[in-house]
Amino acid sequence: MTQPVRAAVLTISDRCHQGTAVDHSGPALERLLKERIGASIVHRSLVPDDATRIVECLRLWIASPTAPGSGPPPPDLIVSTGGTGLGPRDVTPEAVDQVIERPCPGLMELARSRCVASEPRAALSRGVAGIAGRTLIVTLPGSPQGASDTIGAILDVLPHAISILRGSRHDDPPAR
């Protein structure tokens, strides 16, 4: 039996962080990841729209333990929700670019191409995806519907991507 996908969810929102709004997107993403790919949620956090805080959280999660058995491995997948739009405080793509080592533009190209038919505003998303270490990071819109639709558009390819990051060959069965 294959090890479940270890996932982390980061909500990026000034209003949720201040307590003036409720985070619905993060919990929606957790449900989708659990139900659709059998993910185990290993981290969950909420930070304001602040590049420094975003980078700090991501780096903390992807840091490898210094010695075997000294801590849990980094997540296979980190999804963030919020801060990918055109607003002046939408800094998530720029923050994530500071963390990723190898970009994966095709994931977000696929998501936008699949989502734009039903929601033309999906073309305005500046979401990015990339790899840091052996962790895949995917940035999603902040609205519950936008976040769910965007992750739903790429869930069919994520298990295979994670299998490859875990060291499988391209023709091995995907992670689940």
Query: Is residue 127 a contact partner of residue 104, using CB atoms and an 8 Å limit?
Result: no
User: Does the residue 145 lie in any domain?
Assistant: yes
pLDDT tens track of the chain, all 176 residues? 378 999 999 999 999 999 999 999 999 999 999 999 999 999 999 999 999 999 999 999 998 665 566 677 899 999 999 999 999 999 999 999 999 999 999 999 999 999 999 999 999 999 999 999 999 999 999 999 999 999 999 999 999 999 999 988 766 555 55
CATH number of domain containing 36: 3.40.980.10
Domain containing residue 143: 6-165
Q: What is the pTM of this model?
A: 0.92
Radius of gyration of the chain, Cα coordinates, nearest whole angstrom? 15
User: Does the residue 43 lie in any domain?
Assistant: yes
User: Does the residue 132 lie in any domain?
Assistant: yes
User: Does the residue 96 lie in any domain?
Assistant: yes
User: Does the residue 64 lie in any domain?
Assistant: yes
User: Does the residue 18 lie in any domain?
Assistant: yes
Number of domains in the chain: 1
User: Does the residue 131 lie in any domain?
Assistant: yes
Phi then psi for residue 148, to 5 deg, are -65, -45
Phi then psi for residue 129, to 5 deg, are -140, 150
User: Does the residue 1 lie in any domain?
Assistant: no
At 171 the pLDDT is 61
